[in-house]
Amino acid sequence: MRASQLLIPTLRETPAEAEVISHKLLLRAGYIRRSAAGVYTYLPLAQRVLSKIKRIVREEMDRQGGQEILMPIMQPAELWQESGRWDVYGPELFRLKDRHGRDFALGPTHEEIITALVKSELSSYKQLPLLLYQIQNKYRDERRPRFGLLRGREFIMKDLYSFDADEAGLDITYRKMYDAYVRIFQRCGLRFRPVEADSGAIGGSDTHEFMVLAESGEALVVFCQNENCSYAANVEKAQSSELPKPVAELLPLEEAHTPGQKTIAQISKYLGLPESGLIKTLFYETESEVVAALVRGDHDVNEIKLQRVIDCARLELASEAIVTKLTGAPLGFAGPIGLKNVLVIADYEVSVMVNAVTGANKADYHYKNVCPGRDFKAGKIADIRFVKAGEPCPVCGGVLAEAKGIEVGQVFKLGDKYSKSLEATFQDENGKTRHYVMGCYGIGVSRTMAAAIEQHNDLNGITWPAAIAPFHLVIVPVNVKDQALMDISEVLYRSFLESGVEVVLDDRPERPGVKFKDADLVGYPLRLTVGKKFLEEGLLELRERRSGKTHFLKEEEILSFIKDFIKSGMAL
Amino acid sequence: MRASQLLIPTLRETPAEAEVISHKLLLRAGYIRRSAAGVYTYLPLAQRVLSKIKRIVREEMDRQGGQEILMPIMQPAELWQESGRWDVYGPELFRLKDRHGRDFALGPTHEEIITALVKSELSSYKQLPLLLYQIQNKYRDERRPRFGLLRGREFIMKDLYSFDADEAGLDITYRKMYDAYVRIFQRCGLRFRPVEADSGAIGGSDTHEFMVLAESGEALVVFCQNENCSYAANVEKAQSSELPKPVAELLPLEEAHTPGQKTIAQISKYLGLPESGLIKTLFYETESEVVAALVRGDHDVNEIKLQRVIDCARLELASEAIVTKLTGAPLGFAGPIGLKNVLVIADYEVSVMVNAVTGANKADYHYKNVCPGRDFKAGKIADIRFVKAGEPCPVCGGVLAEAKGIEVGQVFKLGDKYSKSLEATFQDENGKTRHYVMGCYGIGVSRTMAAAIEQHNDLNGITWPAAIAPFHLVIVPVNVKDQALMDISEVLYRSFLESGVEVVLDDRPERPGVKFKDADLVGYPLRLTVGKKFLEEGLLELRERRSGKTHFLKEEEILSFIKDFIKSGMAL
């Protein structure tokens, strides 16, 4: 394509609306434009990147036996009512009525449609496993759409649904998809980690999230630094391991006057003890009770783990009024000793503490030398805290590290949740009627594009991995009025096109500086400058966008260099 | 792919819901399933056909300089309010509100979005012409969705929008798109005609519809049989030519008693005159008046032409009460003579009649020897009738023929309708601010699939053009338990796959009859039967689906035969 004809509306200023780097660069480099909050138009460059990501996704889905289909975006409410999700999905589900007043949803996901389809079209174990996928728009009415393509309301997803005869079959399919995802993100040229995740409210059992590692990521993951260990988990899911047990003589319980000392930091300082010597007491309300959660002073309560331990639907911090009523003391002086009518849940690490400090349930007083077991009894002892970098790996005992990531994919064992609610069954080899065992596997296609930018950018713009860059190369003649430069540029342009190189000829009557800036901003992996050096010495300057490496090459050397470069960028 | 793993749920019975052949076959052959009225899931075979049509469309759009983008399906109401279409679009526009109560439409078309985009991103004539297109779902809440994919509520379209500096530029772009459409439907292997059409209420000037010819088509087109003339038009648009003028002595007006003779056929018979000797008088109501339309007894009023002549927004046949009141006679005896307070519009052919018959505006009486001009004066004389097969071509005078068609594409000169309402302007070479001159160009992608089936089917199923068939070939081993047959089938299957042939191996443990029936129904262009003849004589049976031609070939001859067959099917 010729730049003069391509719609690449680059901007000199960063639009005020953009908070994260991918959003800023997608706007500035002319990839997307906003139509409404969380709703975007993908301009030609973005469309090219998306089509490359889609192609990689399709190839890897097909390789694993996936069959591509296309399901409706407009889904009849009846199916959602049958699965029970119409009422529970809440305001994130876009709903509309047709001219006859019938209710529809704009699909945020397609479990209902696909389960109903397979229910009516399949009947025998012989047709299993069945893997069906699609790539298309999804809808989610986010309360606060933001970060550009990272949290939109209309976005592009690949979703595959698997149907197996039993759990063993699902295990195999799940592994296939896991492997396909690894290949996909590798082929896209991204640094990523598959991490164990919590299956949350959707039900189901195993699930992994695929995280593109980037400092700007909203998600925190921990992973084992041991090269031979593959343990990695979403921090919400990451299991804690036993820490070294404190060994000390049990001292007698003692009341300490701590006037105005309410926070862990204050008390630690005031009593001259490390924060790890304190016990934090937090009260939570569920739909049916109030509980007290105890973690070490230097640890944080992981509410997802706590919710699983309690097995409740709702969990939130109790109000000050409730805490005061239960403890008889102002906030900051609560502790487990003497608490009544409250289930006390202690983290494992709390249960092995000796001579700890807790609130005394009395204004301006704490207890010292608290020994769990001796001075109070927890109703439950469980893993209810966040794991932190530096702790031991729960698998190999190595040292855990932390990283920030952007979730771009998730694989999920659904089990029989939907096949049961929608009564989708088949006959097994013994003629017995059974429910399908399902899995679902999503990739955020538009989000992957944004995540790639979060990971690959510098001060001047985007530094695309070659495999998903919109073009491979831009040719920049430094002066479009110089016929000799334009002639050789045209010759090169045509020969590259014929060789399958995706090339842009920047034929705009702009100064070289403007063109170089745009080339860096857009992120062409290679830039070929056609200038004086060619006229004088017959050399062309080929610059690698990401490394900044510059090569001076003769005309006849260029094509093979470019091809090698592209090939190495496409390598799995 | 192996048939045992492919989701091709063929049906023995035709579902009762299907009225037209493409709908029946798409359901029976396992291509689509209904989710709601006018809303379908495309199963793997349909997805493959669609992706082939999309690829052809993309290649031809790109060839003409089109740039692919992707606009939102969810469109903010503000833009539609600005263009004025929010209020006038009516119940066919799907509307919804987001969680904050803001209004959105599900795009039936994208003029507003694209015009707003170009308005904000472009400013100079230098960037023109600009051709932007997308392929994605469109939404239209049809009052009565039917005919499967031919009239759905969620369907796939390609829509391109062009922006030119002036009418001359638009003419060039329009011609490019016209040519691209010709190539697209040729490459799809369809018999079609581009026809002149009426631009209707959308405004704009020139427009052509691309009609796939099929007996089941809802649209009627006329075209010139002269091989050197390309005239063809939608029957609603087709211009009438002068017919031979009757030559006769003008006889004196005479009243005839015609008791109970009300219809053209009755009067013609009763008076012993041809229908072409009668004048039909029809009354129409518009938003502001009642008019009388006169056409020859053997002609029909073309309401679209009539509406243009009157220049009214609403046009419908007047009620019996109004006709009775205006004429003073019961229905069936109306005529133009003595009519008061009514604009009389006569078709050209009526204006040249002599000694004709009309109603006498009196029960049971007609006038004979009516001579327009002498006995009554029409307020307007114009072309207000439908043209019929056998009439002269308005361009070359040749003979017109009629055909039925399915509209699969339309090219349309929009002019400045949207650029004016949305104030989208650019600077021309003289620095003057001007409105873009726009065009829009649509192809119904899912509809093209259905239209291809309407044109290409027989009693046994679909007879796809090779270029858009879901696969090229099916291999049918007649007995999957015969290891020798399966071995050679596998060898062929793998060698075809490696050569890029899109092949299905029907490895299902079914009787050959079932497999043959399914192969015909699905419409694989070629079927390779691996049976006894191979074991005995080393010959394989290759059958062409459409022609039924059968070839007995040796193993080593097959691949080149298949490749030639595919190639000829792909030829433009």
Domains B254-382 and B471-570 share a fold: no
3-state SS class at A528: strand
Q: Are B378 and B168 in contact (CB under 8 A)?
A: no
- pLDDT, tens digit, 9 for 90 and up, residues B148-193: 999 999 999 999 999 999 999 999 999 999 999 999 999 999 999 9
Average pLDDT over residues A409-433: 95
3-state SS class at A67: strand
CB contact under 8 A, B117 and A41: yes
Q: How confident is the model at residue B90 (pLDDT cuts 50, 70, 90)?
A: confident
CB contacts of A74 in chain B (<8 Å) are 35-36, 39, 94, 106, 139, 153-154
- Substitution target in A4, A8, A40, A43 with the highest count of B β-carbons within 10 Å is A43
CATH topology of domain B471-570: Rossmann fold (3.40.50)
Check CB contact of B154 with chain A, cutoff 8 Å.
Answer: yes
Q: Please tell me which of the candidates A73, A95, A117 has its beta carbon nearest to residue B33.
A: A117
Distance in angstroms (rounded) separating the CA atoms of residues B506 and B519:
9
Average pLDDT over residues A326-346: 93
- pLDDT, tens digit, 9 for 90 and up, residues A302-316: 998 999 899 888 899
Which H or E element spans position A366? strand A365-370
- pLDDT, tens digit, 9 for 90 and up, residues B291-310: 999 999 999 999 989 998 99
* Cα angle for residues B355, B360, B362 (degrees, 5° grid): 160
Q: Are B296 and B383 in contact (CB under 8 A)?
A: no
Question: Is domain A45-219+409-454 given the CATH code 3.30.930.10 in the classification?
Answer: yes
Check CB contact of A73 with chain B, cutoff 8 Å.
Answer: yes
pLDDT (0 to 100) of residue A16 = 86
- pLDDT, tens digit, 9 for 90 and up, residues A520-556: 999 999 999 999 999 899 999 999 999 999 999 999 9
pLDDT (0 to 100) of residue A15 = 86
CB contact under 8 A, B67 and A44: yes
Average pLDDT over residues B510-515: 96
Check CB contact of B75 with chain A, cutoff 8 Å.
Answer: yes
Distance in angstroms (rounded) separating the CA atoms of residues A110 and A97:
19
Strand-strand pairing, A526-530 and A473-477: parallel
Distance in angstroms (rounded) separating the CA atoms of residues B359 and A374:
113
CB contacts of A159 in chain B (<8 Å) are none
CB contacts of B39 in chain A (<8 Å) are 72, 74, 76
CA–CA min distance A120, chain B (Å): 10
- pLDDT, tens digit, 9 for 90 and up, residues A446-500: 999 999 999 999 999 999 999 999 999 999 999 999 999 999 999 999 999 999 9
Write out B391-423 in H/E/C secondary structure. CECCCCCCEEEEEEEEEEEEEEEEECHHHHHCC
Give residues with Cβ within 8 angstroms of A422, minimum separation 6: A79, A82, A83, A112, A115, A116, A119
CATH, domain range A254-382: 3.90.960.10
pLDDT (0 to 100) of residue A198 = 79
pLDDT (0 to 100) of residue B200 = 62
State how far the alpha carbon of A26 is from the alpha carbons of A9, A141, A464, A508, B75, in Å.
Answer: 11, 22, 12, 21, 20
CB contact under 8 A, B95 and A91: no
Check CB contact of B71 with chain A, cutoff 8 Å.
Answer: yes
Which H or E element spans position A403? strand A400-415
pLDDT (0 to 100) of residue B138 = 97
pLDDT (0 to 100) of residue B242 = 85
Task: Give the percent of chain B with pLDDT over 90.
Answer: 88
By C-alpha distance, the chain B residue nearest A31 is B69
* Cα angle for residues A446, A452, A454 (degrees, 5° grid): 105
CB contact under 8 A, B95 and A96: yes
CB contacts of B136 in chain A (<8 Å) are 137
Check CB contact of A231 with chain B, cutoff 8 Å.
Answer: no
Distance in angstroms (rounded) separating the CA atoms of residues A241 and A348:
9
Distance in angstroms (rounded) separating the CA atoms of residues A392 and B6:
47
Task: Give the percent of chain A with pLDDT over 70.
Answer: 99
Name the residue ranges covered by the structural domains of chain A: 45-219+409-454, 254-382, 471-570
Task: Give the percent of chain A with pLDDT over 90.
Answer: 88
pLDDT (0 to 100) of residue B493 = 97
Q: Are A112 and A118 in contact (CB under 8 A)?
A: no
By C-alpha distance, the chain B residue nearest A77 is B36
pLDDT (0 to 100) of residue A245 = 83
Check CB contact of B50 with chain A, cutoff 8 Å.
Answer: yes
CA–CA min distance B277, chain A (Å): 47
Check CB contact of B126 with chain A, cutoff 8 Å.
Answer: yes
CB contacts of B117 in chain A (<8 Å) are 33, 41
Q: Is pLDDT of A376 > 70?
A: yes
Check CB contact of B124 with chain A, cutoff 8 Å.
Answer: no
State how far the alpha carbon of A364 is from the alpha carbons of A257, A318, A361, in Å.
Answer: 6, 21, 9
Provide the mean pLDDT of chain B.
94
Strand positions, DSSP E, B21-180: 32-36, 39-42, 67-68, 74-76, 95-97, 103-106, 130-139, 154-164
CATH H-level, domain B21-239+401-454: superfamily:
Bira Bifunctional Protein; Domain 2 (3.30.930.10)
Q: Is pLDDT of A47 > 70?
A: yes
ipTM of the complex: 0.90
Average pLDDT over residues B363-367: 95
CB contact under 8 A, A72 and B136: no
Q: Is pLDDT of B204 > 60?
A: no
CB contacts of B71 in chain A (<8 Å) are 35, 41-42
Provide the mean pLDDT of chain A.
94
DSSP secondary structure string for all residues of B237-298: TPPP-PPPPP--PPPPPEEEE-TT--SHHHHHHHHT--GGGBEEEEEEEESS-EEEEEEETT
